[in-house]
Amino acid sequence: MKVGILTGGGDVPGLNSAIKAATLRLLDAGHEVIGIRRGWYGLLHLNMDDESSVQRLTMKLDRQAVRTVDRTGGTFLHTSRTNPANVKAKEVPDFLKHATVFASGLADRYDFTPHVLSVLRYLGIDALITIGGDDTLSYALRLHNEGVRIVAIPKTMDNDVRGTDYCIGFSTAITRSLDFIHNMRTCAGSHERIAVIELFGRNSGETSLVSSYLSNADRCLVAEVPFDIERLCDLLLSDKRNNPSNYAILVVSEGARPKDGSVIERGEADAYGHRKLGGIGDYISEQIKRLTGEHTMYQNVAYLMRSGAPDALDVMVSSNFGALAADLVLQGRFGRMVALQGGKYTTVPLTETGGGPRSLDVDQLYDADQYRPCIRNIEHKPMFLY
């Protein structure tokens, strides 16, 4: 067989380990492996009448190509947030402008799945391993429904893909966040301020909740629970007074929103309907100053959460996910996603991802009145709590 591998969506540490493990497993079994550059963008922009685009958007994966890739973070295949089923008119490749197919009845959006299917046939790809989060895997599910032989690997530092307790990148994101929260204590304590630390987390507050839980931050705002700014200020003032060093730490999900407002978004929506988030922490910091007169410090950790090499847990899980995905290909078990459930490696139908991203179990994990983690029953919980 010729097996394709691609990564889509935001990069996370561990992607290269998964690619390497899958590649070596398939090569050992005597098969050919090809990397698709830039995720779904690569398949959308590959022009079958232009050999240079094939060279630019694909690469042969052999032992030399993957020999050292697992030593660094990110994805050496590169990535994008392209959705070939929902391409804006201004983003249609020039060579496809004569063959637009309307998507979802919108005059400025086009579905180029027929082109993607033709490209896969042209490349001779017999099976495709897709590594991504909810958005990337939603298009993988579309291709599966079109008859493409798909195996999926879940990755996202939000850890919110359905069907698995763990996604590649989550452990490293928590490790990074924990370090930054503790490091901020020295500045906040020195200046006796309230520190507001914003973390990624569009739909799920798990990164903020687990980071707060492990760092013993004073308060935590998650994407699932709207907050009352005056109530929050009262709690933080109490935390600051009761701290011998006279400071307080607040951790905020980027998707958090006030009870009488909405999330802070900016820019144009991407191919999956998402606008950029970020800035809610700055808003909260300014509101704390206005309502309390206290000095604050605001730090948006953002991309630093997913930068650099993976930690040991992400290397282990991503390597095993990659090997397991290759095993599914070798066994002819397509339309499945590799997963961790109950601490054991397993596989689930790819259709489990069709319900959209998971959210926190607020009743079991969060005190919505006190704005802080509250793990009510640890026994039988997954390692990462949900």
pLDDT at 372 over 60: yes
Dump pLDDT digits (tens) for 130-147.
Answer: 999 999 999 999 999 999
Residues 17 and 140 in one domain: yes
Inter-residue contact 219 to 372 (CB < 8 Å): yes
- Beta-strand runs (E) in the chain: 2-7, 32-36, 58-60, 87-88, 102-103, 106-110, 127-132, 150-154, 194-199, 219-221, 248-253, 265-266, 276-277, 296-300, 336-341, 344-349, 366-367, 372-373
Tokens at 66, concatenated? 């993957």
Q: Which of 134, 135, 158, 239 is catalytic?
A: 158
C-alpha to C-alpha distance for 353 and 86, rounded to whole angstroms? 19
Residues 194 and 150 in one domain: no
Residues 205 and 289 in one domain: yes
Count of the separate structural domains present in the chain = 2
Tokens at 33, concatenated? 């492996």
Residues 280 and 326 in one domain: no
Strands 87-88 and 276-277: unpaired
Let me know the angle formed at the C-alpha of 157 by 318 and 348, rounded to the nearest 5 degrees.
Answer: 55
| Cβ partners under 8 Å of residue 1, min gap 6 | 26, 31, 32, 126, 127, 329
Residues 149 and 38 in one domain: yes
Inter-residue contact 1 to 27 (CB < 8 Å): no
Residues 100 and 133 in one domain: yes
Dump pLDDT digits (tens) for 155-173.
Answer: 999 999 999 999 999 999 9
In a domain, 383, yes or no: no
C-alpha to C-alpha distance for 28 and 32, rounded to whole angstroms? 10
Tokens at 183, concatenated? 């490091």
* HSE of 17, CA atoms in CB hemisphere, 13 A: 22
Tokens at 355, concatenated? 């319900």
Confidence (pLDDT) at 377: 87
Which phi and psi (to 5°) does residue 198 adopt?
-100, 130
Residues 22 and 160 in one domain: yes
pLDDT (average), residues 216-224: 96
pLDDT (average), residues 200-207: 84
Length of the chain: 386
In a domain, 147, yes or no: yes
Model confidence at 186, in pLDDT bands (50, 70, 90)? very high
In a domain, 125, yes or no: yes
Model confidence at 277, in pLDDT bands (50, 70, 90)? low
Tokens at 48, concatenated? 């079958």
Provide the angle, in degrees to the nearest 10, between the axes of the packed helices 134-145 and 113-123: 80
Residues 6 and 146 in one domain: yes
**Count of C-beta atoms within a 10 Å radius of residue 369:** 11
Residues 337 and 233 in one domain: no
Inter-residue contact 365 to 352 (CB < 8 Å): no
Residues 159 and 13 in one domain: yes
In a domain, 241, yes or no: yes
In a domain, 131, yes or no: yes
Q: Is 158 annotated in the active site?
A: yes
Dump pLDDT digits (tens) for 82-130.
Answer: 999 999 888 999 999 887 655 555 567 899 999 999 999 999 999 999 9
Model confidence at 354, in pLDDT bands (50, 70, 90)? confident
Q: What percent of the chain has pLDDT over 70?
A: 93
Residue closest to 254 by CA, chosen among 302, 303, 304, 182: 302
User: Containing domain of residue 279, as a range?
Assistant: 170-306+361-373
Residues 221 and 123 in one domain: no
Would you call 283 helix, strand, or coil by DSSP?
helix
Confidence (pLDDT) at 267: 60
Confidence (pLDDT) at 197: 97
Residues 155 and 296 in one domain: no
**Count of H helices and E strands in the chain?**
12, 18
Confidence (pLDDT) at 382: 82
In a domain, 380, yes or no: no
Confidence (pLDDT) at 283: 92
Residue closest to 239 by CA, chosen among 223, 250, 224, 251: 250
Looking at residue 156, which CATH number applies to its domain? 3.40.50.450
Confidence (pLDDT) at 106: 58
